[in-house]
Amino acid sequence: MKKNVFLIMLIFTFSTISINLFAKCYTFSNGGDYQVCVPGDSFSDRKKAQEICKKAKGSDCGSVRSYSSSCHSNSGKCYNQNGNASRDLKGY
């Protein structure tokens, strides 16, 4: 029994750590094609991504809708944590 509990705790810990080690590329409810990739998934990271989107779009992008580990946009609407536009961002 102790072995099973330990294994479950170990799996939970590693899955939580692995999720938080990677940055996220966010899409927004009113952001259209704009996506922003930032180096984390905390509330402050999401807020920073929203601010970058708002500055790039020129209006509010709304709330975070979804996220992924990469961004591709033929129109260059992928933005990194510094607000720089790109066509492709990977490894987030």
Residues 66-88: pLDDT tens digits?
Answer: 999 999 999 999 999 999 999 99
Please, is 16 exposed, middle or buried when counting C-beta atoms within 10 Å of its C-beta (0-12, 13-18, 19+)? exposed
Phi, psi of 85 (to 5 degrees): -80, 150
Strand partners, 38: 24
Per-residue pLDDT tens over the stretch 12-60: 444 444 444 556 999 999 999 999 999 989 999 999 999 999 999 999 9
Give the pTM. 0.74
91 sits in the region (left: phi over 0; alpha: psi -120 to 50; else beta) called left
